[in-house]
Structure formats: C-alpha cells, structure tokens
Amino acid sequence: MYKTNNFEKLFHDYQGLLCKAARQHHLQTIYEEAYAHAVLSFYEAVQNYDTSLHVPFAGYAKAKVYGDLRTLFKKYRRNWQREISADNDDNLKNQLLTIADKSIFEDNIVSKLSLQNAVNQLPPRQQKIIKYTIINGCTQAQTAKILGISQQAVAANKKQALNYLKQFLS
C-alpha cells in the first residue's frame, strides 16, 4: 500500500495522467466511463502499491491505469463487433433472400463439399488447427494449449493450411 497522508493531493497531481489516459482516440466514445475507470484504477494502484518492489510509483500507476483501460476497451470492442446496424439488417435480409435462390444454394453446397474435401487432404495437425481456429472460433493461444504446441506453431500451420486451401480452391 502506498503510504500517503493526502490522497487528494496525490489525486490532483495525477489528474493529467487520468485525463490523458481516458481521452485516448479509441476511448472517445466512452470517455466518461473510461475516466471513471481510470480513477478507480488509480485508487487501486495507490492501495496496492508495494514500495519493497523498488518500482517508481508513477510508472506503476501509469501501467495500472493504461492496462485497465485497455481491458475496458477490449470489452467494449467485443460488444461493438456483435452489434448489427440497421443498414446491415437490410443487407442481411437481401442476402438471405439471395441464398434462397436454388441455383446459388446448390453452388454453396458444391463449394462447401469442395472445401471439405480440401480440408480432408491437409495433414492431421493442420486439420485440427483449422477446426479449432476457424470453425470453433478459438484463438491461436487456446488452440496451442489444446494441441500442446506453441502459438507460433499454430500460426505457421494455419498459414500453410490456408495457403493450400486457397490454391486448391482456385
């Protein structure tokens, strides 16, 4: 815990850091919440600061505030990516009507069968990587943990597999 008798003074001294952190370009749409989150993070930094680690408080506080705001942004970004705008809703309806057309539907089935045949020709490890990362939506890190290999190996194998599939389907 950071020993200070005057939290208000410390808070006043770091006001610029908090405002700057909350005004980052990617946080502009949620500025008020970002600022409130920055203040809470700063308070936690004051409470949890350990002088025995020999880390300057300014660096510790900045890392804590920016790290927590990065986490907040990632949470919002996941929500924003799930949203569908009204324009996209009309486009989605049009796409669904188009898919209902029998000839396009048959072409989709043929394309899916071709893709399935191409995936079946991949080595077993690459098949698993495609299954986990693309079909199941796992991250490369999660896939690496499941398969017991490094994340770099997952990335390299995925890249090779996608290149093969691209050539096969061209």
Q: Is residue 91 part of a domain?
A: no
State the total domains in the chain: 2
Give the model confidence (pLDDT) of 2-21 as tens digits.
Answer: 544 567 888 888 889 888 99
Out of 37, 67, 82, pick the residue that ends a domain.
Answer: 82
Q: Is residue 168 part of a domain?
A: yes
Write down the pTM of the prediction.
0.47
- Are 117 and 61 contained in the same domain? no
Domain with 126 in it: 113-170
> Per the domain annotation, does 87 fall within a domain?
no
Crossing angle (nearest 10°) for helices 102-120 and 86-100: 90
65 and 132 share a domain?
no
The answer to whether residue 53 is domain-embedded is yes
* Angle of helix 31-48 versus helix 15-22 axis, rounded to 10: 140
CATH of the domain at 137: 1.10.10.10
59-105 per-position pLDDT tens digit: 988 999 999 999 988 888 888 877 655 555 566 566 655 555 555 55
**Is 14 part of any domain?**
yes
